Amino acid sequence: MKIGFIGLGIMGKPMCRNLMDKGYECVVYDLLPDNVEQMEEAGAQRAESAAEAAKGREIVITMLPNSPQVRDVVLGPQGIAEAMTRGSILIDMSSIAPLASREIGETLEEKGIEMLDAPVSGGEPKAIDGTLSIMVGGKREVYEKVRDLLLCMGSSAVYCGTLGAGNTTKLSNQIVVAMNIAACAEAFTLAKKAGVDPELVFQAIRGGLAGSTVMDAKVPMMLEGNDKPGFKIDLHIKDLNNAVETGHELGMALPMTVQVLEMFEQLHGDGLGQKDHSALIRYYEKITGVSVRK
């Protein structure tokens, strides 16, 4: 089976590679020619437009930055909706606003095209090794058709409900991750300011109730001063803004989310938006004058 794959950034490239490693042929497109060339060298077929990548495919995957880009690629001029056939399936693996997923899906349904929203969690390392957590919204019968394909890119692909439920689950995930990173940054800055070695604090608490996947992945980066992006601050800002907007639609305040969002926004203003979200430690270093990084 040939799959159309659109969006070959930090996450999209390794996800597409994993599909090809499992025997799927991929026709790829990205706005950046270098990304397309890298995948072509890996065995993918080049397309000159998103519509060309989607034309005649039973399944098309999009992995794009945010709602406007997904809407434009799918429904815009020469969008993939015009190239896809009735009965085909769009799997949008971007992290976008749930309302946008539902609106795009409703338009596609009128054309006889099925859609799943299937955002992922795990960042670049898990995209590379194929162990992403995938959260899926849409019709259950459509999910069942593509579950095995999704598991070529992730260690889990959990059905969460109707269209938009995948992105609602992802927003919940991003809130929890943001709170964890902020708590770790605050706690380890406290330890350093009190004269206790943060590395020893990390070893002492990681196996207890405070321990988490986030702590294990991000605290070593904080201590090493490693800001290489597995997940960029600017992307987390995007996700938390989508969470706040969704909260507003539901009449719900998200005070903790807003507070961490403001921390990330300050780092963006300091020119750190392309750094890993673990660089939130720099916010605390700035307000305390204490450097946790080695």
Task: Label residues 199-238 b or e (16+ Cβ within 10 Å = b).
Answer: bebbeebeeeeeebebbebbbebbbeebbebbbbbbbbbb
- What is the structure's pLDDT at 149? 98
State the catalytic residue, choosing from 22, 139, 145, 170: 170
Name residue, tokens 């059905």. Answer: 159
pLDDT digits (tens, 9 = 90+) for 216-264: 999 999 999 999 998 899 999 999 999 999 999 999 999 999 999 999 9
**From residue 156, how far is each of 120, 126, 140, 147, 152 by CA, in Å?**
10, 11, 16, 9, 10
- What is the structure's pLDDT at 293? 82
Angle at 165 between CA 159 and CA 170, to 5 degrees: 90
CATH of domain 2-163: 3.40.50.720
Residue 239: which of 169, 186, 288 has the closest Cα?
169
Confidence of residue 78 (pLDDT cuts 50, 70, 90): confident
pLDDT digits (tens, 9 = 90+) for 158-177: 999 999 999 999 999 999 99
pLDDT digits (tens, 9 = 90+) for 84-125: 999 999 999 999 999 999 999 999 999 999 999 999 998 888
In this structure, the number of other CB atoms found within 10 A of the CB of residue 194 comes to 9
- What is the structure's pLDDT at 230? 84
Name the segment(s) of the chain with CATH classification 1.10.1040.10.
168-288
Cα distance between residue 50 and residue 72, in whole Å? 10
Query: Is residue 170 among the annotated active site residues?
Result: yes
CATH topology of domain 168-288: N-(1-d-carboxylethyl)-l-norvaline Dehydrogenase; domain 2 (1.10.1040)
pLDDT at residue 289 is higher than 90: yes
Name the segment(s) of the chain with CATH classification 3.40.50.720.
2-163
pLDDT at residue 294 is higher than 80: no
